[in-house]
């Protein structure tokens, strides 16, 4: 608990990017080619 008040950064941005990549991966089942998936990511 004390560590939360001492440090000024959080892992929020990392969680957002991780969630975004998971959503893109879930939707990527619709892509026929891997190159289109890569351009999306």
pLDDT at 41: 64
What does R_g of the chain's alpha carbons equal in angstroms?
16
H-helix segments, 1-41? 2-6, 12-27, 34-40
What is the model's pTM? 0.48
Q: How far apart are CA 25 and CA 36, in angstroms?
A: 12
* Residue tagged 């959080």 (tokens): 10
Q: Is 19 helix (H, G, I), strand (E, B) or coil?
A: helix
Per-residue pLDDT of the chain (41 residues; tens, 9 = 90+): 677 677 777 778 888 888 988 888 887 777 677 777 777 66
pLDDT at 40: 67
pLDDT at 1: 61
Number of alpha carbons in the 13 Å side-chain half-sphere of residue 24? 13
């Amino acid at each position: 608990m004390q560590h939360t008040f001492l440090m000024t950064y959080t892992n929020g941005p990392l969680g957002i990017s991780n969630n975004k990549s998971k959503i893109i991966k879930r939707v990527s089942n619709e892509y026929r080619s891997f190159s289109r998936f890569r351009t999306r990511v």
